């Protein structure tokens, strides 16, 4: 899920070995010039070896095609249930209809584009003439000098051909996006979808994604005589085979990590389990602990150990070290047996089950609770259900990047309308669940230029093995979604927004967040594209009690998993979430570093009483197995 910020750890272009040596450098019109020797890295020197490697690459590509076709020929993969391509074509055809319906409007749009192309062509020709000495005056500066990591290689500026391609790409991209934004007569959802699909197309068609139009790829292919393609196509075949007919895009070296060996290392015990979750209690590291235990409800879309990646950045370990008795729900990786487990089941057999186990293990009826992302949405709905039932066990709730109102839910709303949901539900009906790769791809598409195509280029065109990185390993360790649970979530949250409209029915009871009177610590991340800060801000006003709204720097993962000793980012506090989000943020107080100590102080303000440290399970429950347990080990 939380891939939107992995762009922060993309390998920088300057780390990639490049055989090209700079020569003939000079300044010309603000550009670095080049002479004939600059073309040497682009000249094929060993055509025989290149031909042999191309043949080997094609052979590996054939193996990739076979890996893709085989499960479809066996009927294991159906292409008819969910067809995003059809929805894209249908959506963009509505944009085309608007512009084609008026010849004058079409002509003006085409004229604008061609005029831009002509301007780029003229500047490029003037520049080439100036470099060749045929013209003394330097060309006028380009109108678009935006920075983009995809075009960081110096030849995107230095070489007139690649500079031309880059400018044409930017102009065309801007033009197409403007067509969508200026299309009248579309409903808001259709226009949102059209804009999203256009971004997917332009990201895919970037000249940086193709060997002939990417200077670095071209040079590396020439330098290695195509050996990079041999390696890349071999990796492509392996990744399609690993995805059982679907491309499982490699973003890290999955062989370098293991859950329980390299991550999820905080000592603890699994003290209870049922059909949909295990309950982990972590061992105390202090002599005394807070009287109120802490229950963490993570999302089931990804696995809980994002909060326990390693001891240096583990939120769970940090809480334990502050004297918290920490319990975590580890959700099952569902299969067909869990098809009918809906939100009520996750609330009752997940959160309520955990509360019962906490009381047995500690004797405490009162707890503090944390919910992360969709786990927080479930927690909020469960709190509303508890309020209806006069259940007062949860005394404070902390929500990490959690949406309860989905008015401003961002680009994920693109995938949710009645037609798409009906197709998705039909697809899930046959299997009983949604495969985790489908959700992973949806999250990747939110930032395709950073989260899909750089990895595609590095792995399959450069033939480079990705570096090991724990966050990317966790991200690839995806989970399935039980059919009833996922359908309830999409329909009630993204499609109908029932929770803040007092229309959600949970376990047969209508629930309202206004009934939730307990203190809420509501954390948003400033650069979040999954749960936008503006959306979290708006959701704060629907609770019936006091809400401490806090914004932290960075995105959906790095903003949350930000240990104090790293001294990274900052957070903002500014009182109730009233008015407009932008105004609130402008007037808020900025504090450097992690928000974790601020939250710990908030927890202790509501109950700072301490008792002797507890052992997992207490005297009532025996340990089933060591943390992180067996449920989290189930791989898709």
The secondary structure of 297-320 as a DSSP string is: E--SSS-GGGGGSSTTS-HHHHHH
Q: Where do we find the tokens 């792995």?
A: 459
Eight-class DSSP state of 82 = -
Parallel, antiparallel or unpaired: strands 31-32 and 27-28: antiparallel
Of the residues 277, 297, 319, 373, which is catalytic?
A: 373
Known catalytic residue: 373?
yes
Label residue 629 left, alpha or beta by phi (over 0 means left) and psi (-120 to 50 means alpha). Answer: left
In sequence order, the 6+-apart residues with CB closer than 8 A to the CB of 60 are 230, 233, 234, 236, 237
- Residue 572 buriedness (CB in 10 A; 0-12 / 13-18 / 19+): buried
Q: Where do we find the tokens 């209508």?
A: 510
Say whether 28 sits in a helix, a strand or coil: strand
Which residues share a beta bridge with 326? 294
Longest CA pairwise span in the chain (Å)? 90
Take residue 23 and report the two structure tokens written for it: 């020569």
Say whether 269 sits in a helix, a strand or coil: strand
- Residue 104 buriedness (CB in 10 A; 0-12 / 13-18 / 19+): exposed
Distance of CA 51 to the CA centre of its chain: 40
- Which secondary-structure segment (H or E) carries 97? helix 84-100
CB of 549 within 8 A of CB of 398? no
- Residue 270 buriedness (CB in 10 A; 0-12 / 13-18 / 19+): buried
CB of 364 within 8 A of CB of 358? yes
- Residues 504, 500: Cα–Cα separation, whole Å: 8
> In this structure, what are the phi and psi dihedrals at residue 378, rounded to the nearest 5 degrees?
-60, -40
H, E, C per residue of 501-540 = HCCCEECCEECCHHHCCCCEEEEEECCCCCCCHHHHHHHH
Take residue 499 and report the two structure tokens written for it: 């929770």
Say whether 77 sits in a helix, a strand or coil: coil
Which residues share a beta bridge with 303? none
Closest CA to 530 of 397, 400, 622: 400
Q: Is the dihedral of CA 556, 577, 328, 595 positive or negative?
A: positive
> In this structure, what are the phi and psi dihedrals at residue 622, rounded to the nearest 5 degrees?
-95, 145
The number of beta carbons lying within 10 Å of the beta carbon of residue 472 is: 21
The secondary structure of 326-354 as a DSSP string is: EEEEEE----GGGTT--HHHHIIIIIIHH
Terminus-to-terminus CA distance in the chain, angstroms?
14
Please report how many Cα atoms fall inside a 13 Å half-sphere around the Cα of residue 478, on the Cβ side.
21
Take residue 410 and report the two structure tokens written for it: 């961002």
List the catalytic residues: 373
């Amino acid at each position: 899920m939380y891939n939107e910020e992995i762009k922060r750890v993309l390998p920088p272009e300057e780390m990639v070995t490049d055989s090209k040596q700079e020569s003939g450098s000079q300044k010309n019109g603000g550009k670095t010039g080049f002479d004939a020797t600059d073309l040497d890295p682009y000249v094929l020197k060993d055509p025989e070896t290149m031909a042999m490697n191309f043949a080997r690459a094609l052979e590996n590509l054939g193996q990739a095609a076979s890996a893709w076709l085989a499960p479809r020929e066996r009927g294991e993969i159906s292409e008819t249930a969910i067809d995003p391509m059809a929805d894209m074509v249908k959506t963009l055809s509505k944009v085309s209809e608007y512009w084609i319906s008026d010849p004058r409007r079409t002509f003006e749009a085409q004229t604008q584009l061609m005029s831009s192309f002509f301007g780029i062509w003229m500047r490029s020709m003037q520049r080439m003439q100036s470099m060749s000495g045929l013209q003394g005056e330097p060309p006028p500066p380009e109108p678009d000098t935006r920075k983009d990591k995809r075009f960081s290689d110096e030849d995107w500026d230095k070489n007139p051909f690649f500079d031309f391609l880059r400018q044409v790409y930017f102009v065309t991209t801007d033009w197409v996006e403007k067509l969508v934004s200026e299309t009248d007569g579309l409903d808001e959802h259709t226009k949102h979808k059209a804009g999203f699909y256009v971004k997917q197309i332009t990201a895919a068609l970037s000249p940086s994604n193709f060997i002939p139009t990417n200077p670095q790829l071209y040079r590396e292919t020439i330098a290695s005589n195509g050996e990079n393609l041999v390696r890349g196509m071999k990796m492509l075949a392996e990744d399609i085979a690993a995805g059982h007919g679907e491309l499982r895009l490699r973003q890290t070296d999955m062989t370098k990590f293991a859950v329980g060996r390299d991550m999820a290392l905080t000592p603890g015990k699994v003290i209870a389990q049922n059909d949909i979750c295990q309950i982990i209690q972590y061992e105390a590291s202090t002599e005394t602990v807070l009287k109120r235990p802490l229950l963490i409800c993570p999302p089931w879309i990804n696995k809980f150990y994002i909060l326990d990646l390693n001891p240096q950045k583990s939120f769970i370990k940090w809480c334990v070290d502050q004297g918290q008795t920490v319990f975590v729900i580890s959700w099952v990786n569902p299969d067909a047996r869990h098809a009918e487990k809906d939100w009520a089941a996750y609330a009752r057999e997940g959160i309520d089950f955990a509360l019962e186990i906490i009381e047995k293990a500690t004797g405490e009826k009162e707890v503090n609770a944390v919910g992360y992302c969709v786990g927080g949405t479930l927690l909020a709905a469960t709190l509303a259900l508890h309020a209806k039932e006069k259940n007062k066990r949860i005394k404070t709730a902390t929500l990490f990047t959690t949406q309860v109102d989905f008015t401003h839910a961002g680009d994920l709303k693109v995938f949710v309308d009645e037609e798409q949901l009906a197709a998705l539900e039909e697809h899930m009906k046959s299997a009983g669940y949604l495969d985790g790769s489908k959700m992973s791809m949806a999250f990747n598409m939110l930032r395709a230029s950073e989260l899909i195509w750089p990895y595609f280029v590095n792995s399959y065109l450069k033939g480079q093995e990705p570096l090991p990185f724990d966050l990317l390993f966790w991200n690839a360790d995806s989970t399935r979604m039980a059919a009833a649970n996922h359908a309830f979530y999409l329909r009630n949250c993204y499609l109908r927004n029932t929770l803040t409209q007092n229309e959600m029915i949970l376990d047969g009871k209508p629930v309202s967040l206004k009934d939730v009177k307990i203190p809420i610590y509501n954390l948003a991340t400033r650069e979040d594209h999954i749960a936008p800060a503006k959306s979290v801000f708006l959701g704060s006003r629907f609770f019936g009690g006091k809400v401490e709204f806090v914004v932290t720097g960075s995105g959906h993962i790095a903003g949350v998993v930000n240990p104090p000793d790293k001294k990274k980012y900052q957070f903002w506090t500014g009182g109730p979430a009233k008015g407009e989000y932008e105004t609130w943020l402008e007037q808020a107080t900025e504090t450097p570093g992690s928000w974790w100590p601020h939250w710990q102080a908030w927890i202790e303000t509501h109950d700072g009483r301490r008792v002797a440290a507890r052992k997992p399970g207490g005297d009532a429950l025996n340990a089933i197995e060591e943390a992180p347990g067996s449920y989290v080990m189930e791989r898709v």
